[in-house]
């Protein structure tokens, strides 16, 4: 009853400090609270839940002339915002390739219509705002391109381009280009790892922006499979060694911590799933968070999607045929798995999307 004496502005300020999952449950308190939480003018202040996943379409039987990605919602009631997969709000283009998604912003490669030109674009589909980035100063062999954005820390976003250098027939990570929306420019930095770092193939899709650093999979002769990180200034370069015996895993961010999940193989030909968490980031000590024996006698066709950013739910795909894949959800607390939805003709990576409704000065309509 005390809350009834609060003004709407004060209630919204209180609600803005509540986790998104709890906020969804508070919609049931009253019709007035439902109105406050769902009102468009308030959404920019309130935390948003995981709405769904963005993924690339594999229906590419002919030359692509349009954008080729899809969005699948976690909400069957479809309160989640619709994603304009045509990118009609962007400048005239032949197609747009989705590269990364972070805290509601998308990093794309924009292909100009009727011209042999492509540029990087960062956009917010919830507000239909975007910015075209200047071209990096020097064209080199690009390993991976990723987006970093944490609105709880800063209103500025960053784009990381990891660069490769060929030395004696092998390719090494030796440089990074970092774009800052604060300066509007690229900064080029030399690597400062004390080990030679190699790219790790498809696992580079598994990246996490956390604590002001971009984290991704890599490989070195000293560390074998490892995680490496570089900060937004290109000044701090860090190596995280993985727990012994883990490889070919997937990197996630949940509860504000790095998580690493993978399948193991045991003597009984079973495939346990293990999840490790880096609770103390500075100590770099991985702790086993969850382990379960699947009972499978052979490795099924699957792709990791994500661990929910706020609760212990794991999402992955299941299915041998890309035309008939299912999105599955595994509850670590209950040790239960269920099918969430079907994925139409999808290819990894599957990027978790949390809508962001606040305005950014670096983006325009």
Provide the residue ranges of all domains of the chain, joining segments of one domain with +. Answer: 4-40
Confidence at residue 86, expressed as pLDDT on a 0 to 100 scale: 79
Q: Each residue of 2-41: b (16+ CB within 10 Å) or e? A: eeeeeeeeebbeebeeeeeeebbeeeeeeeebeebbeeee
Which of 62-66, 218-222, 354-358 has the highest mean predicted lDDT (pLDDT)? 354-358
pLDDT surpassing 90 at residue 155: yes
pLDDT surpassing 60 at residue 299: no
Give the per-residue SS3 of the chain.
Answer: CHHHHCCHHHHHHHHCCCCHHHHHHHCCCCHHHHHHHHCHHHHCCCCCCCCEEEEEECCCCCCCCCCCEEEEECCCCCCCCCCCCCCCCCCCEEEEEEEEEECCEEEEEEEECCCCCEEEEEEECCCCEEEECCCCCCCCEEEEEEEEECCCCCCCEEEEEEEEEEECCEEEEEEEEEEECCCCEEEEEECCCCCCCECCHHHHHCEEEECCEEEEEEEECCCEEEEEEEECCCCCEEEEECCCCCCCCEEEEECCEEEEEEECCCCCCCCEEEEEEEEECCCCEEEEEEEEECCCCCCCCEEEEEECCCCCEEEEEECCCHHHEEEEEEECCCCEEEEEEEECCEEEEEEEECCCCCCCCCCEC
- Of the pLDDT bands very low, low, confident and very high (cuts 50, 70, 90), residue 296 is low
Specify the residue for token string 């990576």.
Answer: 349
Q: Is the peptide bond before 349 cis (omega within 30 degrees of 0)?
A: yes
- List residues bridging with 224 in a β-sheet: 220
CA-nearest of 56, 66, 157 to 104 is 157
Better-scored residue on pLDDT, 352 or 296: 352
| Terminal-to-terminal C-alpha distance of the chain | 43
Cβ atoms of 46 and 39 closer than 8 Å: no
Cβ atoms of 332 and 316 closer than 8 Å: no
Angstrom distance (rounded) from CA 271 to CA 93: 45
pLDDT surpassing 50 at residue 65: no
pLDDT in tens, 188-230: 999 888 888 877 665 446 899 999 999 988 888 776 788 899 9
Better-scored residue on pLDDT, 29 or 327: 327
- Of the pLDDT bands very low, low, confident and very high (cuts 50, 70, 90), residue 266 is low
pLDDT surpassing 50 at residue 61: no
- List residues bridging with 338 in a β-sheet: 329
Phi, psi of 321 (to 5 degrees): -105, 125
Confidence at residue 125, expressed as pLDDT on a 0 to 100 scale: 93
pLDDT in tens, 168-179: 777 878 889 999
Tokens (6 digits) for 286: 């991985």
Cβ atoms of 143 and 191 closer than 8 Å: no
- Of the pLDDT bands very low, low, confident and very high (cuts 50, 70, 90), residue 114 is confident
Q: Model pTM?
A: 0.86
Angstrom distance (rounded) from CA 354 to CA 332: 21
CA 355 to chain centre: 12
pLDDT surpassing 80 at residue 11: no
- Of the pLDDT bands very low, low, confident and very high (cuts 50, 70, 90), residue 181 is very high
- Of the pLDDT bands very low, low, confident and very high (cuts 50, 70, 90), residue 265 is low
pLDDT surpassing 50 at residue 112: yes
Give the CA distances from residue 263 to residues 214, 274, 299, 340, 349, in Å, rounded to whole numbers and listed in that order.
24, 6, 9, 21, 18
pLDDT surpassing 60 at residue 321: no
pLDDT surpassing 90 at residue 342: no
Tokens (6 digits) for 288: 């086993």
CA-nearest of 214, 221, 282, 222 to 251 is 214
Out of 52-61, 86-95, 152-161, least confident range:
52-61
Query: Chain-wide mean pLDDT for the chain?
Result: 82
Percent of the chain past pLDDT 70, that is, above it, reads 83
Out of 31-40, 49-58, 261-270, least confident range:
261-270
pLDDT surpassing 80 at residue 150: yes
Phi, psi of 17 (to 5 degrees): -100, 10
């Amino acid at each position: 009853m005390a809350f009834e004496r609060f003004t709407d502005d004060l209630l919204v300020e209180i609600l803005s400090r509540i986790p998104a999952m709890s906020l969804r449950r508070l919609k049931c308190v009253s019709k007035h609270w439902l109105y406050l939480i769902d009102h468009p003018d308030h959404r920019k202040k309130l935390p948003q839940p995981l709405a769904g996943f963005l993924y690339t379409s594999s229906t590419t039987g002919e030359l692509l002339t349009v954008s080729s990605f899809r969005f699948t919602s976690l909400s069957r009631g479809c309160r989640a915002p619709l994603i304009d997969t045509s990118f009609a709000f962007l400048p005239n283009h032949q197609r747009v390739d989705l590269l990364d998604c972070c805290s509601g912003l998308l990093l794309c490669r924009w292909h100009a219509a009727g011209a042999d030109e492509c540029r990087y674009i960062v956009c917010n589909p919830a507000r239909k705002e975007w910015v075209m980035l200047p071209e990096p100063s020097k064209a080199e062999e690009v390993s991976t391109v990723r987006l970093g954005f944490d609105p709880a820390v800063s209103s500025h976003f960053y784009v990381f381009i990891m660069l490769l250098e060929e030395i004696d027939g092998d390719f090494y990570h030796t440089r990074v280009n970092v774009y800052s929306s604060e300066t509007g420019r690229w900064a080029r930095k030399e690597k400062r790892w004390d080990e030679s770092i190699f790219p790790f193939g498809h696992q580079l899709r598994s990246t996490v922006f956390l604590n002001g650093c971009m984290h991704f999979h890599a490989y070195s002769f000293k560390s074998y499979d490892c995680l490496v990180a570089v900060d937004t200034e290109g000044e701090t370069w860090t190596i995280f060694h993985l727990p012994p015996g883990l490889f070919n895993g997937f990197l996630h961010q949940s509860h504000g911590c790095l998580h690493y999940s993978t399948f193991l193989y045991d003597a009984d030909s079973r495939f346990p799933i293990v999840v490790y968490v880096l609770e103390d980031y500075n100590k770099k000590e991985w702790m086993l968070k969850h382990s379960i024996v699947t009972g499978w006698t052979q490795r099924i066709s699957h792709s990791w999607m994500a661990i929910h950013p706020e609760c212990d739910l794991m999402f992955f795909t299941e299915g041998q045929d890309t035309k008939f894949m299912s999105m599955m959800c595994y509850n670590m607390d209950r040790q239960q798995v269920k099918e969430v939805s079907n994925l139409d003709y999808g290819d990894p990576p599957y990027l978790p999307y949390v809508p962001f409704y606040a305005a950014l000065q670096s983006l325009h309509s």
